Structure 1
Amino acid sequence: MNSAVFFQGFGICAGLIIAIGAQNAFILSQGIRGRHVLTVALLCCLCDVLLISLGLSGVGAFVSSSSALTAATAWAGVVFLSWYGLGALRSAIRGGTLEADTRGSDSLRAVAATTIAVSLLNPHAWLDTVVLLGGISGQYPESQRFVFGAGALSASFVWFFSLAFGARLLAPLFRRPATWRMLDGFVCLTMWGIAASLAHHALSLTA
């Protein structure tokens, strides 16, 4: 029974995090650039540990019950994602190659701060992990709830490390400036698209 609960947690979490979003786009970009890849993967996993733990503890139900708190979180996400998307757009316009880009790697502090921000300032992550996973885990007794959470966290660790380190296999493609521009353009559109959906959601809460 516990193994079935574990794999249910694994499967549901995998389905939620594999979809391309702000966090995955950032991880892919950093993995290709080779910028503090281990730190990025670890911090993403630790953020998921925090969010999933909050969901298992019942915080998700509290957050979703407050429209004001949900709207405030959404607007914070809009500001951050819009700013990050603008940076990606500037990079796409400027252009570059993998060799040129890796010489000027961001500092560890800057990469770590951006990783935490893109993981925690995205209300979609809160809805997926805290609210949705937390709500599903509530159907189980307490002992099995933690087995479900362990399965979800295992999926998180497998995905983030696979994406961060596997992205380097794409590096040969990014020795061409056109491919690099496409990646930065994709990141920009992803960030702005999510920001627009969050703004729409926040406006609907305050209407």
Structure 2
Amino acid sequence: MAEAIVHGIILAFGLILPLGVQNIFVFNQGAQHPRFRSVLPVVLTASLCDTLLIGGAVGGVSLVIVSLDWVTPVIYSAGILFLLFMGWRIWRSAPATAEGKRLSPKGQIAYALSVSLLNPHALLDTVGVIGTSSLQYDSAERWVFAAATAAVSWIWFLSLAAAGRILGRVDSSGRIIRGLNSVSALLVWAIAVYMGVQLWRVF
């Protein structure tokens, strides 16, 4: 049981730490809002989406997905388009201190749903990595493993939003966050190119 917990925590941190559109969005919303409670909709939505994806993957979706040869190319193709578009949105975004960029609770939820459920890395990580990794455990340990990975998501998104709020207070001009957004956009495009190479190899 302890092995499943430790394995789940380490694996989840390894998957969630790399910079991606989901992390960027949660961080930026934390920086944009004057109160931490105002960014809770995006934190809760992102965390719940990860929990549902992990639960589905551990519950058996992984076995179905990996058995279908056409699924991976479709996910990669859609993912490349999604990442190119999100990179463009991040690149053109105004500094996080801009009043007009603060999303309402509904806007936060809608955007968080898109970057969580349409994010190819989230799908590939949960289904391809977490789901298949859980198969080494029996029924009870498998769900303990899933709970550990899901807990990391909740802690991570809360911490990310809090870090964004701190930087938002320090960086009143928005220059630092604008620079981070530019770097983030380049990284997202780089991931899209990498996925394009992987897709080419599939064919």
**Fold agreement, TM-score > 0.5:** yes
> What is the CA distance between 1:123 and its match in structure 2?
2.0
> What is the CA distance between 1:97 and its match in structure 2?
6.5
- Give the distance between the partners of 1:78 and 1:44, measured in 2 at CA: 21
TM-score calculated relative to the size of structure 1:
0.86
TM-score calculated relative to the size of structure 2:
0.87
> What is the CA distance between 1:45 and its match in structure 2?
0.9
Give the equivalent residue in structure 2 for 1:34.
Answer: 33
User: Does residue 173 of structure 2 align to residue 176 of structure 1?
Assistant: yes
User: Does residue 106 of structure 2 align to residue 109 of structure 1?
Assistant: yes
- Give the distance between the partners of 1:97 and 1:66, measured in 2 at CA: 42
Tell me which of 183, 186, 189 is aligned to 1:189: 186
> What is the CA distance between 1:24 and its match in structure 2?
1.1
Task: Structure 2: give runs of 5+ residues left out of the alignment.
Answer: none
Q: Is the 8 A contact 1:10 1:152 kept in 2?
A: yes
Q: Is the 8 A contact 1:82 1:195 kept in 2?
A: yes
After superposition, the Cα gap between the structure-2 partners of 1:107 and 1:203, relative to the gap in structure 1 and judged at 3 Å, is farther
Q: Is the 8 A contact 2:168 2:174 kept in 1?
A: no
After superposition, the Cα gap between the structure-2 partners of 1:166 and 1:181, relative to the gap in structure 1 and judged at 3 Å, is closer
> What is the CA distance between 1:182 and its match in structure 2?
0.3
User: Does residue 75 of structure 2 align to residue 73 of structure 1?
Assistant: yes
Q: Is the 8 A contact 1:96 1:180 kept in 2?
A: yes
> What is the CA distance between 1:124 and its match in structure 2?
1.8
Q: Is the 8 A contact 1:11 1:155 kept in 2?
A: no
**How many residues matched?**
200
> What is the CA distance between 1:96 and its match in structure 2?
4.5
Give the equivalent residue in structure 1 for 2:52.
Answer: 50
Q: Percent identity?
A: 34
The alignment partner of 1:58 has SS state of helix
After superposition, the Cα gap between the structure-2 partners of 1:59 and 1:184, relative to the gap in structure 1 and judged at 3 Å, is same
The one-letter amino acid paired with 1:19 is: P
| Greater alpha carbon shift after TM alignment, 133-142 vs 70-79 | 70-79
Note the alpha carbon deviations across 1:9-31, whole angstroms, 9 max, x for none.
Answer: 12211221112222112211111
**Cα RMSD (Å):** 2.1
Q: Is the 8 A contact 2:31 2:168 kept in 1?
A: yes
Q: Is the 8 A contact 2:9 2:152 kept in 1?
A: yes
- Give the distance between the partners of 2:12 and 2:151, measured in 1 at CA: 9
The alignment partner of 1:175 has SS state of coil
- Give the distance between the partners of 1:15 and 1:155, measured in 2 at CA: 10
> What is the CA distance between 1:198 and its match in structure 2?
2.2
> What is the CA distance between 1:69 and its match in structure 2?
1.4
- Give the distance between the partners of 1:185 and 1:7, measured in 2 at CA: 35
- Give the distance between the partners of 2:49 and 2:95, measured in 1 at CA: 31
Note the alpha carbon deviations across 1:59-88, whole angstroms, 9 max, x for none.
Answer: 113223333211112222222222222122
